[in-house]
Each structure stands twice: as C-alpha cells, then as structure tokens.
Amino acid sequence: MPTHKLRVIPLGGLGEIGKNMMALEYGNDIVVIDAGLMFPSEEMLGVDLLIPDISYLLARQKDLRGIVITHGHEDHIGALPYILSRIAPPIYATKFTRELILVELKQRGVKTGAKLNLVRPGSRITLGKFTIEFFSVCHSIPDSVGLIIHTPLGIVVHSGDFKIDYTPVISEATNFSQLASLGAKGVLLLLSDSTYAELPGYTPSEMVVSDTLDRIISEAKGRVIVTTFASLVSREQQVFDVAVKHGRRVFIVGRSMKEIVSMALKTGYLTAPPGIICRLDELKTLPHNRVIVLSTGSQGEPTSALVRMANRDPSSRVQIIPGDTVVISATPIPGNEALVSKTTDSLFRQGANVIYDKLAQVHVHGHGSQEELKLLLNLVKPKFFVPVHGEYRHLSLHASLARSMGIPKDNIFVLDNGDILELGQDSGKVVARTHVGVIYVSGLITGELDNAVLRDRKLLSRDGVVVVTIAVDAENATLAEKPRIITRGLIDTGGERKLIEKGRDVVLAALDHDKRRLSEPSFVDARVKDSLTRFFHEQIHRRPVIITVVVEVGKTQREPTS
C-alpha cells in the first residue's frame, strides 16, 4: 500500500505561455519536468526575460532527484542556465535537446556540475520512487518526448508539447499505440498540453507548408528571405529542399540560426547537399533569383537579423531591396504581436512583398487542436486530469473538453502556479500554496520582480523625471540659494524654462511654511515631492518621478533622497 500522497506542484507554465516547470513529489523524492523561460510583456520595462521561482526546490535540494526535459524549445529549457548556477541535479534529455542545452549554457557562459544524461524514446530511468519512460511525440522540433511516470500510486502521463502529424518533415509521429496500452492498465493522472485548446479540429501537417514554400519560391522573381524560429529545424529542412529544387543558394543570418543549423547539420538532424549553404560575402555575386536568406526575427526581436533589415540598420549584412519576398514562417507568441506588426510594416515600406500566416499557410503550429486533445484523453482514460501549458482560458477550455469526454468534474484540477495538489488513489485536493514570485533577468541581475520598481519604470517612461537640488545653510537652517530643478522626458524645451521657474516658486512657498525644519532632509523631501507632484499635475497633467537632493552647505553632502 502507498504510504504517501502524490504531490503535483506547478512552478511555472500555468496561466501563461512559457516558463514551463512542474514538480512531482512522493515522500522524499522530487522530479521536475522542464525548466523554461518566458519573454516579458511590453510593460515590464528593462526586463530581458522571466524564469520560474525555484524557492520550493532550493528548500528541498536533498530530495531533488533530477530534471527531465521534454524538448528543446526555450520555454522548456531556457531557464536552465540560471537554475543550474544555484542547484545542480542531473538533467535527462534526448540527443537534440541535449545539444540545444549545451548551446544555451555556452551562450550564457555557464559552467555547471550538473550531468546531462542522454535518453531516447522507449528508454527508462529510475529517480527515487519514480520510474520514467519516454515516448516520442510530434512537435515543431526534433526529439520531442512525452513521459510515462510510474509512481507508487499509479501511472502519470505527461504529454509534453504534441500534435498529430502523420507526415512530419523531421519529427517522429506521436506514439499513440504506446499510450493506448496504458489506457487498458489504468492511468492515475494525465497532464496535457493546452496551448491550442481553443482551436477546433486538427492541426494541419507540416507538409502543407512545404507546398506553400515551393509555390512562393517558384513564383518569386527576386530574393526570398524566410524568417522562422531558429529551433524549427523542420522548416529549415523545407527551405533547403525547396532551394535545391529551384536552383537557389541559402544564406543564413542571425547568431542563434547559425549555431542551431550548424549543430543540426553535424548531428544529422538537417541534411543539405554540398554548396547549398553559402557565406554571406558571396551574396552579392549571385543573381537575386538564385538567393534565399534564412533569418532570425520572426517574433520581432529588437536585435534580430530581420528587424535590423526592417530598420535599415547599417550594421546589417543584408539590406532589403525593393522586390524582395519576405516570408514570416511563424505566428506571433502572445505579447509579441505589436513587434511583429511593426516589423512587417517596415518591410512593406521598403518595397518588400511580405507573406505571413494571414495571407498564406506559411506556418503550422506544433500543438494539438481540440480533436487531438480529445483523442489523447480517450486513449489514456485517466482518473484525474490537469491541463498544463497555457493561459488560463486554454486550461479552462481543456478542462471542459475533459468533462465532455466523461471525466468527472471533481477529478479535474485547473491549477495556478504554486498550487500544491495532493492525489490519493481515489481523490485529490489542492491542500496548500507555495510562494512563486515573478523572477526576472535583467542583464546580469536576477531577482524577484518588485512591483514598485516596475511602477517607477512606467512613470519614468511615461512622465519623465525631475531632480530638485536644495542647498541648506547648515549654521542658520536657511536656504543657501534658490532651488535648482532639472527635468528629463517631461516637457519639450520650448516650455521647460517657464515651467521650471514656476516650480521653483512652488518649492520656495512649500518650504517657507516651516523654516525651522529645513535641517531635516526627510521633511524637505516630503514637502518638495508633495508640492511639485500637485503642481505638475495641475499644469501639464503629468506625475513625474521626483528626486530630491538635499545639500547642507558646510557639511558633508548627504545621499540623494528619493
């Protein structure tokens, strides 16, 4: 008889797209599934990326048996360089995924004592009380797997990111026969990808994109620039195949694209005949109708190759020429829509013919739609169900699908990050929550995001900053001179002088009420901020960040008060 409950603890990836990380705990054994990053929303000014909060794991390091990775997308492996600097459990990943992790660690300059163990579909590993079996799933990246996790309470199935594609370009088809055999045995819990739970029907096959690319490139009179995810190796293979068919050469731009293509060619995940890939310095030697450029930038990333082209950046090795055909072979990740639209507009302005998903089927996503999700539920027949990987509406819609497939409402759990779900053999309940803060990476700084910091950054970006210097005579506790006011990002230079003069008068009037307290920096700071905040809002309807610097003449200068 089992002596413990099975704990399911999402540390990221629920109620959001990205940052996927799930812990399973039984007794003194913890295994973690994936460790991904998420890109910040536009209002998170100065933030490069977000990663899961691993406080729960740090407090239980001795119980952590390993991190199992389902595939190599950044939302599943991108947090590893930051996590492995704090904890170093063994990592288990398939060959292509392992290579991508090594690339990530190299790019971030991370050295770790964690061992990167190689697994393959069909293999098994034992981590404490968990025995994990890997099965192949079709996704938009090679070597993707789902997990069959044998626990003392029963079998847990984690789908990973998956879809059904009977004609994949590179990836293996999802191994449903392996899953069907589990349904007859009895599955305790299914954790299933919810990313496209709102789309009816089936996800189209990758072969559809091959036909579309073939038509576009055969009709193009000039250069063709194709942008996609650097890790979308199947799309890169399609580009190589079409290039060979139509006598074109391929030029690769963008650091991540070059690194991943090079690695995929070396490991055999990509094949290209000799001479098809050319150096960039050969670009000008070929006629335009024999050129394909394979580029990063499908998400409008500011420093990516395609965005530099769109912005006419002089440092870009490739510049847009009127008559170029640009194929954006990706759909925007939620939050990136505005960036992608801006890039697309800039390309059109330069005379490019831009083709994207609303104009032609140049991209097929890698996640199952409703019918595929229902098929998985029907095959596995789980007692309990937890939708994973998606914003809250995706999780909720997936839960509705599960109810329509006969799973009782009380056996379906739509969780939030930090929820601790305890499962027995016959019932389950969310028993507690663990703290999961928003952990940000900004340059070399990693830490929990403070709402006050974001608020100040928003104010600075929208309303600017005002610095007020107050010189106080230390002997007489009087103002040594009129206040000095400097503004940045507040108002154009034409009206600045008059506004600053009025502001000085406001500060003088505010401090004149109680001159005896001029020697108290906290009093001066509060009076200046209160009076100027009201003044600027009345005058220009703005609330800038106000920094007061109190200087006592004749004494050591004090630190700025903000």
**What would the mean pLDDT of 84-106 be, rounded to a whole number?**
93
The secondary element (H helix, E strand) that includes residue 9 is strand 6-12
Please state which of the ranges 37-46, 48-57, 318-327, 475-484 shows the lowest mean pLDDT: 37-46
How buried is residue 3: exposed, middle or buried, by Cβ count under 10 Å (0-12/13-18/19+)? exposed
- Over residues 448-471, the pLDDT tens digits come to 666 666 666 666 777 788 898 988
- Residue 70 to residues 88, 96, 235, Cα–Cα distance (Å): 18, 11, 20
| Confidence check: pLDDT of 514 > 90 | no
Give the strand pairing for 439-442 and 445-448. Answer: antiparallel
| Confidence check: pLDDT of 519 > 70 | yes
Catalytic residue of the set 71, 367, 389, 394: 367
| Confidence check: pLDDT of 325 > 90 | yes
- Write out the E strands in 45-164: 49-51, 64-68, 91-93, 116-118, 124-127, 130-136, 145-151, 154-158
- Over residues 213-247, the pLDDT tens digits come to 999 999 999 999 999 999 899 999 999 999 999 99
Asked if residue 472 lies in contact with residue 553, where contact means CB atoms within 8 angstroms, the answer is yes
Residue 562 banded pLDDT, cuts 50, 70, 90: very low
Give the strand pairing for 382-388 and 187-193. Answer: parallel
**What would the mean pLDDT of 506-514 be, rounded to a whole number?**
81
| Confidence check: pLDDT of 66 > 50 | yes
**Which domains does the chain carry?**
6-201+365-448 (3.60.15.10), 207-355 (3.40.50.10710), 451-553 (3.10.20.580)
Catalytic residue of the set 193, 324, 419, 525: 193
Q: Is the dihedral of CA 118, 173, 327, 294 positive or negative?
A: positive
- pTM (predicted TM-score): 0.81
How buried is residue 542: exposed, middle or buried, by Cβ count under 10 Å (0-12/13-18/19+)? middle
Res 464: pLDDT: 84
Give the residue with greater pLDDT, 111 vs 451: 111
Helix (H, G, I), strand (E, B) or coil at 153: coil
| Confidence check: pLDDT of 558 > 60 | no
Contacts with 27 (C-beta within 8 Å, 6 or more apart), sequence order: 3, 4, 128, 129
Res 2: pLDDT: 78
Q: Which of 178-187, 228-237, 345-354, 517-526 has the highest mean pLDDT?
A: 345-354
Res 453: pLDDT: 65
**What would the mean pLDDT of 191-198 be, rounded to a whole number?**
95
Give the strand pairing for 419-423 and 545-553. Answer: unpaired
Residue 43 banded pLDDT, cuts 50, 70, 90: low
Residue 349 banded pLDDT, cuts 50, 70, 90: very high
Asked if residue 161 lies in contact with residue 137, where contact means CB atoms within 8 angstroms, the answer is yes
Buried residues in 276-291 as b, exposed as e (16+ CB within 10 A): bbbeeeebeeeeeeeb
Res 393: pLDDT: 96
- Residue 489 to residues 58, 130, 329, 496, 534, Cα–Cα distance (Å): 42, 57, 38, 11, 18
Structure tokens at 541: 């309807």
Give the residue with greater pLDDT, 35 vs 48: 35
The secondary element (H helix, E strand) that includes residue 335 is none
**What would the mean pLDDT of 193-202 be, rounded to a whole number?**
94
Res 444: pLDDT: 56
Res 557: pLDDT: 47
Res 452: pLDDT: 62
Asked if 367 is an active-site residue, the reply is yes
Asked if residue 502 lies in contact with residue 539, where contact means CB atoms within 8 angstroms, the answer is yes
Asked if 389 is an active-site residue, the reply is no
